[in-house]
Structure 1
Amino acid sequence: MLFNKPLYLSAPPRFIITSNTPAFSVKARHFFTWKGDSEDKMASKNQKQLPKEYNSITAFHKKLAESKRILAVCGAGLSAASGLATFRGAGGHWREHKATDLATPGAFRRDPGLVWLFYAYRRHMALSVKPNAGHHALAALAKKNPDFLCLTQNVDNLHQRSLHPPPQLKPLHGSLFTLTCSSPSCTWSSPNNYASPLCPALAPAASSSSLSQLLDPSHPLDPIDPKSLPHCPDCHSLQRPGVVWFGEPLEEGMLDEIDRWIDAGPVDIVLVIGTSSVVYPAAGYAEACRTKGHTSVVTVNLDADQNRQTLNSLQEEDFAFAGDAAELLPELLKPVIGELPKELLEGTEDQAESKAEEKTQ
């Protein structure tokens, strides 16, 4: 098994606590701190010699033509390419609250209204953007190649909205658009629920006209009565967002499915998109795949050509492409998926313009 169960998040949702297998050793746990992000770019000043064609699209296309089983691990950078704020890093705040402090079972017990308002805002913002060409390229690859599996750390449903085949998509941290019951003894859930607002009490987070006041920490929020929040139709407990909060286990059945897929045979390519190949879970899955044979780890990230740990981790058949995943993925996967429809590429251009004007909330 790749992971020991249960598996818990004890750090922001781009990281996963590891098992005691060699690829997930205790030594790797420094990746579970925010400090690791800044250290990542400063470490290993003495860069080793890079593979000759590590950033050659032509060389990657040759590898792609020879490949069958492909795994992708997607992080926040892919969502950012759609213009979506990701609340990443130690400075990620919503109003006066650290976003990570709101993403806990304890916060929900103390103030379910505040937590629901935060997630209603995130739902609204996710619905205000579209899947980018990177999402569509991955969905097209899944339709062309039944031996492709995509793992995503993102909870915004942009993969799902790109019509990515569900059996080939594993949302590691759940979804903003799945509602579940907060009672541990109740199994009710409502997937792909795009209603916005979910109830009148959450309307301030679902209207662009009211967002300026909502996001202004100097503007006091009226307390939300828990009775006015969504409740489970089966047991009448509070509904909650279907995401994995810190301190909660990831879905065991899904992790078992991923383990079985990796164990089924050699993995030719691991695509690491919008995150780093040297942080978890990407690092763990890449190493697990390497144990099965000659795996090429391909990093697609804005800083792929500057991140020293990423560059120093490259092996002979690995690649690192620096840039926007929405622009790079359609080009990298073109030999398999062909040209994406023009309207999908135009959507990416619109989002790029939106990002240029965007102010971080």
Structure 2
Amino acid sequence: MASSAKSVVPAADLQSFTEYLRGCKRIVALLGAGISASSGLPTFRGAGGLWRSHDATSLATPEAFDETPGLVWQFYSYRRHMALQADPNKAHYALAELARRNEDFITLSQNVDGLSQRANHPVKQLHLLHGTLFNVKCTNFYCNYTEDNYTDPIVPALEIPKKSSGLNPSATDKTGEQASKAIGEALDDTSTEVDISDASNPIATVAREDLPQCPKCEDGLLRPGVVWFGEPLPEKTIRAVDKWIAAGPVDLCLVIGTSAKVFPAAGYVHEARSQGARVAVCNMDPNDTPGELHYGDWFFQGDAGVIVPEILKSVIGISD
């Protein structure tokens, strides 16, 4: 997480943005992994984007699931587990509050972690471009089964293994008293989870029959309800977003925690501009911007969990 020293909004920028924001009606926000990094979640993209010895993006394909469904499910079960351990941060709550106060504000999220939903962001104003980790669907072509599922682990075989200190009995004293003491000390030491994202920690191979199975057709495997590379974005979501943008002028486009360079999501920044929007970017990296910023745009460098509540404070009425 960024230090507060690197997340201070320059007074002049805050003043000009606040003055403009107060007059805005139709606002769209595009969210990326950077907003969830403030909650402690790894992005799995860019430098260091490895899970075990695998490029994490190579596991996010239909082909990978067909070839190694057990490994792919271990990756996504790990991500589900991590997401459930994390809490929404102040940026998630600030955007949810803005949505409650402005019915003409919509959020387009590329994140699958469920943190916006858990911050009680109004569902009708939240469009999940890449789906969610907490939806599963059947892979059988003839089966349309889908459900929301927050069970962790989703099946026993995908439970994160635990490690403990183990017993350390005396090498010389074999009495029952010493053995009991060793057992007690071991039990008092809280077990911790093995970091299965580290390739140096071995993990068991999960058999196909132990993976999540479809309860409807009883023939297909369930898969995470996320959009994998090579798959189209959800048609219903795209239609709703396109309809909103085409409905009239857009005053402001917030780009938070994303470089907005990956299409088709990146296209929404350009569409908002074509409808008159000014753009405000919040990112840790000043080079991560959706193309060239225009005169009148803003760039706020720092932790989204600090920056977003600050720049929205004048209209949402909360700061802490």
TM-score normalized by the length of structure 1: 0.74
Q: Secondary structure at the match of 1:230?
A: coil
CA contact (8 A) 2:27 2:250 kept: yes
Write out per-residue CA displacement over residues 136-169 of structure 1, whole angstroms, 9 at most, x where no aligned residue: 0000000000000000111100000000001100
* Cα distance change, pair 188–182 in 1 and its aligned pair in 2 (3 A): same
Tell me the distance in 2 between the aligned counterparts of 1:300 and 1:205. 37
1:324 maps onto 2:281 in alignment: no
Q: Secondary structure at the match of 1:56?
A: helix
Tell me the distance in 2 between the aligned counterparts of 1:224 and 1:318. 50
Q: Secondary structure at the match of 1:333?
A: helix
Q: Secondary structure at the match of 2:193?
A: helix
CA contact (8 A) 2:91 2:308 kept: yes
Tell me the distance in 2 between the aligned counterparts of 1:324 and 1:106. 35
Tell me the distance in 1 between the aligned counterparts of 2:151 and 2:139. 19
Letter in 2 for 1:148: F
Tell me the distance in 1 between the aligned counterparts of 2:269 and 2:132. 24
Tell me the distance in 1 between the aligned counterparts of 2:159 and 2:295. 53
Name the Cα RMSD after superposition.
Answer: 2.2
* Cα distance change, pair 205–289 in 1 and its aligned pair in 2 (3 A): farther
Tell me the distance in 1 between the aligned counterparts of 2:259 and 2:11. 15
Residue 16 of structure 2: aligned partner: 59
Matches within 5 A, 1:176-195: 176-191=133-148, 193-195=149-151
Tell me the distance in 1 between the aligned counterparts of 2:25 and 2:40. 32
Write out per-residue CA displacement over residues 285-311 of structure 1, whole angstroms, 9 at most, x where no aligned residue: 122122223x1100011123xx2x849
Structure 1 unmatched ranges of 5 or more: 1-52, 346-361
Residue 269 of structure 1: aligned partner: 252
CA contact (8 A) 2:112 2:130 kept: yes
Letter in 2 for 1:270: C
Residue 337 of structure 1: aligned partner: 316
CA contact (8 A) 1:54 1:319 kept: no
Matches within 5 A, 1:99-248: 99-191=56-148, 193-204=149-160, 209-212=192-195, 214-236=196-218, 237-248=220-231
Tell me the distance in 1 between the aligned counterparts of 2:86 and 2:270. 34
Residue 255 of structure 1: aligned partner: 238
Write out per-residue CA displacement over residues 75-109 of structure 1, whole angstroms, 9 at most, x where no aligned residue: 11101011111101153111111111111111111
Q: Which has the larger radius of gyration?
A: 2
Structure 2 unmatched ranges of 5 or more: 1-9, 164-190
CA contact (8 A) 1:197 1:206 kept: no
CA contact (8 A) 1:272 1:297 kept: yes
Moved more, 326-335 or 219-228: 219-228
Q: Which has the higher helix share?
A: 1
Aligned residues: 283
1:287 maps onto 2:270 in alignment: yes
1:315 maps onto 2:271 in alignment: no
Sequence identity, in percent?
51
TM-score normalized by the length of structure 2: 0.83
Tell me the distance in 1 between the aligned counterparts of 2:97 and 2:201. 45
